Amino acid sequence: MSAPLRHDWQNHEIEALFALPFNDLLFQAQSLHRQYFDPNAVQVSTLLSIKTGACPEDCKYCSQSGHYNTELKKEKLLEVEKVLQEAQRAKDSGASRFCMGAAWKHPSQKDFPAVLAMVKGVRALGLETCMTLGQLSREQTEALAAAGLDYYNHNIDTSREYYAKIITTRNFDERLDTLDHVRTAGIKVCSGGIVGMGESQNDRVGFLRELANLPQHPESVPINHLVKIKGTPLQDVADLDPFDFVRIVAVARILMPKSHVRLSAGREQMNDQMQALCFFAGANSIFYGDKLLTTSNPLANDDMALFKRLGIHPESRTVHEEDFRRQISSHDVAAYYDATAAH
């Protein structure tokens, strides 16, 4: 019998998990992980920046913020056809989900039709779709749902208490509002945060508690390890202890046992042994490919070699026809079957 899901975690309970001996914590996380998932399957996603740089937000970790000089080359929104070509490449390389990110505070009315076309086109290739576009209105969220978007990523980044030290151009509750719009529209939620930004242990407890006590747990919880970008205010922050990062993954798995816990940014600075510990702690999703938006990522061949050494395999994706027909038009369904038949 699977352990029941909880949404009433208290700080002292989460603190007690962090205080467990390392082996005890990982044993508990792995035992719980096996109740909901194949312990040797890892969901593989590919992430593409569809619009790069010049973001009006002042997130202190971000190379794309227009507030800092990170020498990032700015790019306009990619053409739909270019995005679909990249999605096909990702599928051919073994990805089951294609994630698209735009450096916006919120999508513009001018660009939104192209965004919807990307969702429909990627889904027609038989890939799960995910987007991160910043803050959404209820109307925009409903349009994305009608286009067939599977997941929307909108990280809370850190604890409520530490948030204002990282971002001042958008408040914490606005992030929760967008998550509520996404959930209400029937789109799956992808929401996590970044650790290693100088936050305290209490902030890590508060960050995970906020996610675990949502009315419904995010289907995907990205745990990002800060990548220190030259030119940002966090470029010289102290390094995070690798074992502390593994503990965060394990606690996230215990608090949200039915969610995919994703190793996101920062994997390039992790050795194989650290990644293996994260998988044992309950991580079961990665971004796959040579680049994450603007930062580097382990080479795809290296990931597959590590999977082979660990006896891990990519999680398969099953497209359910009933769900597909409910979310997109019959024309798009036909295009999907034509595309899959051709591949």
E strands along the chain, which residues? 41-51, 97-102, 128-132, 151-153, 188-190, 193-195, 220-225, 260-263, 285-287, 291-292, 295-296, 313-314
62 a catalytic residue:
yes
| Catalytically annotated residue among 97, 123, 190, 247 | 190
Measured distance CA(330)–CA(324) in Å, rounded: 9
Measured distance CA(135)–CA(218) in Å, rounded: 17
278 a catalytic residue:
no
| Catalytically annotated residue among 97, 130, 170, 175 | 130
Measured distance CA(251)–CA(22) in Å, rounded: 11
59 a catalytic residue:
yes
Within 8 A by CB and 6+ apart from 30, the residues are 39, 280, 281, 282
Query: Are 87 and 98 a contacting pair, CB within 8 Å?
Result: yes
Q: What is the CA radius of gyration of the chain?
A: 19
For residue 217, give the DSSP letter: -
What phi, psi does 279 have (nearest 5°)? -65, -40
Which of 251, 243, 209, 193 is closest to 59 using CA atoms? 193
If you search the block for the tokens 């938006």, which residue do you land on? 293
- Cβ density class 266-284: b for 16+ within 10 Å, e for less: bbebbeeebbbbbbbbbbb
| Catalytically annotated residue among 97, 123, 204, 262 | 262
| Catalytically annotated residue among 99, 204, 209, 278 | 99
Phi/psi region, residue 23 (left: phi>0; alpha: psi -120 to 50; beta: rest), is alpha
Burial of 23 (0-12, 13-18, 19+ CB in 10 A): exposed
Which of 80, 137, 149 is closest to 114 using CA atoms? 80
Active site residues: 55, 59, 62, 99, 130, 190, 262
